[in-house]
Amino acid sequence: MCHQTVGLIAGELERRGIATTSITLLAEVTRKVRTPRALFVDAPLGSPLGRPDDPELQTAILRAAFGLLTHPGPPPVLVPFAGPA
Amino acid sequence: MASFSDLSLKNRIFMATYRYRSLDPVPFAPPRRPLVEARVALVTTGAVHRPDQEPFDEGWKGGDPSFREIPADTDVATLGIAHKSDAFDQGPFRTDRNLGFPLDRLREMAARGEVGSLNGRHLSFMGSITAPGRLTADSAPRAADLLAGDGVDVALLTPV
């Protein structure tokens, strides 16, 4: 249910002019919720930043998530993380 | 890879029959300024809380819609995790809180100048909300008002 909750909060933020980018581990759910911008990370539930104690991978995922901010749309934007997770 | 097939039968049946709420139309705010100048807030649904904060209430039918403010100077390693969801293995998240609440990574990015600044507070929800009426009517709008009032430009959202 975490993924629906993320999408609904993102919607409230976007309505107030705050650009959001989200991580998703369940693309099927995020597609249904229509979360404005989401990066799909191919990792187990509970591990949105990929792997514990792997700052390099975590930073790469964050950079990719922030990269969606300049995606031209239209929303919803759902893009897979290109690196290994 | 996370997919429906990783989940327990109970969770799979729930998710296959659950009617997900959907944003329609999808609100889409263009970034007000480049990331290197933006004020960034982190919003997680990983149910983290400071040791001095009330943990989330697992007994709330339909899911506890409340949120906790996590001040920017919080030591990530000290955060409690109130999630009791059986849908995922919590071991890795408990080993490294940054896996779901990457505040240390964001601090590093801010120190390197990749993001402009971090907001003075970040927010934590417990994502396991099956009846989101109170979330959408009350707590999510209040949380969004807080961050908008702080002048946040960009929010990063992480589920667990």
Predicted local distance difference test score (pLDDT) of residue B19 = 94
Q: Is residue B144 part of a domain?
A: yes
Q: Which residues of A touch B85 (CB under 8 A)?
A: 2
Bridge partners (DSSP) of residue A19 are B154
Number of domains chain B is built from: 1
Domain that holds residue B136: 28-158
User: How far is residue A83's CA from residue B63's CA, in Å, rounded to a whole number?
Assistant: 34
Is A14 in Cβ contact with B99 (below 8 Å)?
no
Is the residue at B13 inside a domain? Answer: no
| pLDDT of the residue at B7 | 75
Nearest to B160 among A2, A16, A62 (CB): A2
CA distances from A32 to A9, B74, B87, B90, B149 (A): 15, 34, 19, 25, 30
d(CA B34, CA B9): 44
Q: Tell me what the mean pLDDT of segment A12-34 comes to.
A: 97
Residues of A in contact with B91 (CB under 8 A): 46
Residue B86: the pLDDT is 73
Does any domain span residue B121? yes
ipTM: 0.97
Find the angle CA(A66)-CA(A63)-CA(A74) to the nearest 5 degrees. Answer: 35
Q: Are B155 and A27 in contact (CB under 8 A)?
A: no
The pLDDT tens digits of the residues spanning A32-43 come to 999 999 999 999
Given a contact cutoff of 8 angstroms between Cβ atoms, the answer to whether A11 and A36 are in contact is yes
Q: Is residue B38 part of a domain?
A: yes
A59: pLDDT strictly greater than 70: yes
> Could you read off the pLDDT tens digit of each residue along chain B, which spans 160 residues?
566 666 778 888 888 899 999 999 999 999 999 999 999 999 999 999 999 999 999 888 999 999 999 999 999 999 999 987 777 888 999 999 999 999 999 999 999 999 999 999 999 999 999 999 999 999 999 999 999 999 999 999 999 9
What is the number of CB-based contacts under 8 A between chain A and chain B?
228
